[in-house]
Structure 1
Amino acid sequence: MITRRDFNLSLMSLSAGMMLAPLARGATAQKTQRSDSMIAIDCHAHVFLQSLPMPDRRRAPAGYDATPEAYLHALDANQMTHGVLVQPSFLGLDNSYMLDVLRAHPDRLRGIAVVAPGVTAQQLDEMQQAGVVGIRLNLIGLPTPDFDSPDWRALLKQIRLRNWQVEVHQVAAELKPVLEPLLAAGVNVVIDHFGRPSATLGVDDPGFQYLLSLGPSRQVWVKLSAAYRNGPGGRGEATALAAMPLLMRQFGVERLLWGSDWPHTLFESTVQYGAQKQQLERLLPLESERNIVLHDTPARLFHFANR
């Protein structure tokens, strides 16, 4: 009888010996087919090529490609079966490369797109057919959108009708004006990177305390991802460890997700996928709870069971 451990070890051995050609933009790639049972889902990663237009270069990395082949290899090497690609903010509204990748790997990958209010239902349909299950608002350093405008109301209605999510990346101090109108619109909301509490205040950040108050709404999920973005020199992980009992108490384990944040843009030289996976074991020592975070919750939220 083949155990799950034996299967994972053989899969890692196979992937380590394979070198896959990069996916050219617009190319038709052979679709990956997976017959194994779903074990673990990485809910936050990015793919891009340095040759792609980058209208927002504030956070853009330089000097390398983050190809889907490299990402899938990282998944295999770390016993992860599926992943969620998030459109990088520096690529702006052109989701075409991510959509190409999703179409090439429909069994393993889902996507979170970046769109502008005014996007048409037909455009959203095309994204959904490719595997998109939500939109992202990366609002770091940007003003809060006018969610009361007709275009935003129409977009949020589409998000709600499709059972998509709105993924929010914003510092904790600025979360309230973003989340209140989203929750009032009835959409599911996913918060990136522990809610980005202040590096100095940690869990005492009033914005993080506000986030905790939203647990009973059952509309909000929190990603246990990229703790290193919440403070230097180990401070981010210390905040993450302090946050865990609070998040568990207010949200419950079933409203928590995990993401690698691969390829760790702007932290490429100091952060590794395997170390992030090991950190999850420190945050959630019980395997039963990790299974909920890695499989049960994301399988439903990112619609892996619907395709």
Structure 2
Amino acid sequence: MNLTFDLPPDACDCHLHIFDPRFAEQPGNGAPFEGGTAGEYRAVARRMGTRRAVIVQAKRYGTDNACLLDAVAQFEGQARGIAVVPPDVDDATLRMLHAGGVRGLRFSVWNPGDTVMTVDMIEVLARRIAGLGWHAQLHMSGDQIVAHADMLSRLPCPIVFDHMARLPPGLGVRHPAWGIVRDLIDRGDCWVKLSGAYLNTLQGGPDYPDATAVAQAFVRAVPQRLVWGSDWPHVTERAHKTPDTVQLLALLARWEPDEAVRNRILADNPRELYGYA
């Protein structure tokens, strides 16, 4: 599939994962993941027309960020990284990660059965990274956002919600997490990734009507606090056919027909959030 709209020169894919057989995965994940190297992603990026990337640490690597740092380096200044670290990480390691292009920590607590990080680590580590100018990237369910709203309001660093804040597809913006996320955005320290449409649907693709309704609501309300991500190579997609990544980007034209707003989501907002020159 080809895009029907032009991308700005510095368009950024703000959510993807890299898997490389040169780096050992943690035991317990079965066979190593295949088909997710930086070279393979760059072929997809050429199809999309994106130049910049934000690489998010994959759970299979735990708190070993070697693959992440290697992948960021391969983009020669055009990528940023989101790492995963233990609560007792030392300052020297954080400085090393920052020098390697890391600009945030990810807390994927959506599924307690396979999480590397836990909710109780968020506030502790947020205090550690605030001085670096990093953010806390949260993959939480809508119900988790509601349950931990007080903690989220106390975080001393910016927040980035993964995958449209995982509002339950049956409720969408009628879920109380919508109001909590909106309040955090209005404070000025919160962003949302327009990503993971296939994680936010009961109706399925390729149009994901229920996820599209949530995306459109975010675009209408807070376009200045949105970034877009592919979630390549779609390792969490199980319920539906693995999507075509270019087709996922093409959905953005349906979510926001105005070119200037799309360009803000694809280039201007990532430049501000991730510190691109």
TM-score w.r.t. structure 2 length? 0.86
Query: CA RMSD of the aligned region, Å?
Result: 2.5
CA separation of 1:167 and 1:55: change in aligned 2, threshold 3 A: farther
Unaligned runs of 5+ in 1: 1-7, 10-36
1:263-306 C-alpha deviation (Å, 9 max, x unpaired): 1114385211111110111111111001000000101211111x
The structural deviation recorded for 1:55 is 4.4
Give a deviation string over 1:124-181, Cα, whole Å, max 9, x none: 1111111101100000123521556xxx1xx323321111111000111101344532
Is this contact kept in 2: 1:56–1:92, CA < 8 A? no
Letter in 1 for 2:276: F
Q: Secondary structure at the match of 1:84?
A: strand
Partner residue in 2 for 1:203: 173
Contact 1:106 1:131 in 2 (8 A): no
Amino acid at match of 1:77: R
Q: How many Å separate the matches in 2 of 1:147 and 1:270?
A: 31
Q: Deviations over 1:49-93 (max 9, x none)?
A: 357323463xx8865130001111111111101100000122211
* Bigger Cα Rg: 1
- In structure 1, what residue type is equivalent to 2:12? I
Deviation readout 1:241-278 (Å, 9 max, x if unpaired): 3224532454x211011000001114385211111110
* Match in the other structure for 1:22: none
Count of aligned pairs:
263
Of residues 144, 163, 172, the one that matches 2:119 is: 144
Q: Give the SS at the match of 1:145.
A: helix
Q: 1:209 to 1:182 in 2, by over 3 A?
A: closer
Determine if the alignment matches structure 1 residue 264 to structure 2 residue 234: yes
Which one of 37, 60, 64 corresponds to residue 94 of structure 1? 64
1:47 maps to 2:1? no
Which residue matches 2:163? 193
Q: How does 1:30-179 map to 2 (within 5 A)?
A: 38-49=9-20, 52-55=24-27, 57=29, 64-142=34-112, 144-145=119-120, 152=124, 155-178=125-148
Instruction: State whether structure 2 residue 257 is matched by structure 1 residue 285.
Output: yes
TM-score of the aligned structures, taking structure 1 as reference length: 0.78
What amino acid sits opposite 2:157 in the alignment? Answer: V
Deviation at 1:220, TM superposition (A): 0.7
Structure 1 residues 132, 77: closer, same or farther in 2, change over 3 A?
A: same
For CA contacts below 8 A with separation 6 or more, give which structure has more relative contact order: 2
CA distance in 2 between partners of 1:163 and 1:38 (Å): 26
